[in-house]
Structure 1
Amino acid sequence: MSKRRAVFLDRDGTINVEVQYLHKVEEFEFIPGVPAALKRLKEAGFLLVVVTNQSGIGRGRYDEAALDAIHSHMHEMLAKVGASIDACYFCPHHPEHGKGDYLQVCACRKPLPGMLQQAADDLAIDLGSSFMIGDKLADVEAGINAGCTSLMVLTGYGNSHASKLPAGIKAYPDLPAAVEAILALEAAEAPDAD
C-alpha cells in the first residue's frame, strides 16, 4: 500500500476556541472558518489527524469519557458540513502533575512526536510529505521532530508563541489561512497539466 499524506492538527486553539481544560461539550466552539477549511483539505486528498495533549485527564480534572464526548460532538458538527477527521490521538500524561498511571514521561506528549508516529504506523502516512498545524511551539516542534512541515496559527496561544518560532517556520492568522498556504504550496508543486 502506498503511503498517504496527512495534515496533523492540534485541537484546542487551532480547531476550536481555546478553553483551558475543555471538558464540556457545550463549551466546544469551532474557530470561524475551520470546518470549511478542513473540508478543503479532505477534498485535496489529505488525511486529517488530530493530535492533542490532554493533561487535564492526567491531572484528574476530567476523564477520557468527557474527551470522547467532545470528539463525538466535533465529528457530528463537521459531518453536518460534509467535513470529517480521520483519527484523533491524545496524550493524557504529564511528567510532573499527572496522577497515578498518568504521572510519567512518555513519548506521546508534544513536542515529542509519538502521536504523529503512531498515526503514521496506523494509517500508513508518509510523514515527510505531511504537515503539522498548531498554536503552540510544542505543536510546531512535534511536527519537526516527526519530519513533517510545521505551520503555526496565531489563534489560541499562537500570538504568545510566535516570537519563539524556529527559523523558516511561518505563522498564519488562523487555520483557514494555514490551509490556503498548504493548498497553494501543493498547486505550485503539482506537475503541469499539459
Structure 2
Amino acid sequence: MKKAVFLDRDGVINEVLTNRVKFVNKPQDLYFLPSVPQAIKKLNEFFDFVFVVTNQGGVGLGYMKESKLQQIHVHMIKELEKKGAIIHEAVYCPHKPKAGCGCRKPNSKLIVDLGKKYDIDLAKSYMVGDTDTDIIAGKRAGTKGVFLGKSDPLADAIFPDLISAVDWIIEDATA
C-alpha cells in the first residue's frame, strides 16, 4: 500500500482572509503562502501521493459556481507543477456548512474515498490542516494529524506553516 499527505487548501496552501484576498472565488485570487511549492515538492520526494482535501461551502451557499472552483483547482495544480510540485488530485465538499453531508470535514469521506481509489495505507499517511475540522477528519480516516497554527489538542504535531512541518512529517513517516 502507498502513503499520502492530504492538505487542506485555504490557510495551508493559499492565503485566505488576508489584506490581499478575502476568499478565493476565481483563479487570480489564489496566492500561495510562503514556501508552499517547495514544501509540496519535498513531500513529493517521500510520499506516493499529495492530495488537496477542502471544504468549499461557498459553492453550496451560491457565492461561486462549481465550475469556477474546478478552474481554481486546475490553475493551482498547474502553477504548482511549474515549480516542480505535484498535487495528484484536489477533492472538495461543495455543500453548505451544516448540510449534513458525509464529505464535509470533520467527516472523513473525502480522505477515505481517496484512500480506496489510490490504495493508500491511511495509518501511514498525514492530514495537514489549519482548523480542528481538518485534524478530526484525518483522525476519523485513520491518518496522523498535523496542525498549522498555535494549538490543537488532537494533532500529532503543530507547526506555524507547511514548510516548517515537512521535515517532521518525512522523519515521522520514515521512522
Q: Same fold (TM over 0.5)?
A: yes
1:5-154 paired onto structure 2 within 5 Å: 5-19=3-17, 20-94=22-96, 96=98, 104-154=99-149
Q: 1:172 maps to what in 2?
A: 159
The alignment status of 1:182 with 2:165, answered yes or no, reads no
Residue 176 and residue 44 in structure 1: after superposition, are their counterparts in 2 closer, same or farther (change >3 A)?
same
Residue 81 and residue 23 in structure 1: after superposition, are their counterparts in 2 closer, same or farther (change >3 A)?
same
Q: 1:192 maps to what in 2?
A: none
Is the 8 Å Cα contact of residues 57 and 97 (structure 2) preserved in structure 1? no
Classify the secondary structure of the residue corresponding to 1:52. strand
Identify unmatched segments of 5+ residues in structure 1. Answer: 97-103, 190-194
Classify the secondary structure of the residue corresponding to 2:127. strand
Q: How many residues align?
A: 171
Tell me how far 1:46 sits from its aligned partner: 3.2
Classify the secondary structure of the residue corresponding to 1:83. coil
Classify the secondary structure of the residue corresponding to 1:16. coil
Residue 122 of structure 2 aligns with an amino acid whose one-letter code is: L
TM-score normalized by the length of structure 1: 0.83
Tell me how far 1:186 sits from its aligned partner: 3.2
Residue 70 and residue 95 in structure 1: after superposition, are their counterparts in 2 closer, same or farther (change >3 A)?
closer
Deviation sequence 1:125-184 (CA, Å, 0-9, x none): 111110000000000110111110001012xxxx4xx2xx22563210100111111112
Query: Which whole-Å CA distance do the structure 1 matches of 2:27 and 2:155 have between them?
Result: 37
Classify the secondary structure of the residue corresponding to 2:43. helix
User: % of aligned pairs identical?
Assistant: 39
TM-score normalized by the length of structure 2: 0.92
Classify the secondary structure of the residue corresponding to 1:62. coil
Identify unmatched segments of 5+ residues in structure 2. Answer: none
Classify the secondary structure of the residue corresponding to 1:71. helix
Query: Which whole-Å CA distance do the structure 1 matches of 2:155 and 2:100 have between them?
Result: 29
Tell me how far 1:115 sits from its aligned partner: 0.4
Tell me how far 1:105 sits from its aligned partner: 1.0
RMSD of aligned C-alpha atoms? 1.4
Classify the secondary structure of the residue corresponding to 1:89. strand
Residue 89 of structure 2 aligns with an amino acid whose one-letter code is: A
Query: Which whole-Å CA distance do the structure 2 matches of 1:46 and 1:10 have between them?
Result: 18
Is the 8 Å Cα contact of residues 9 and 50 (structure 1) preserved in structure 2? yes
Residue 161 of structure 2 aligns with an amino acid whose one-letter code is: D
Classify the secondary structure of the residue corresponding to 2:50. strand
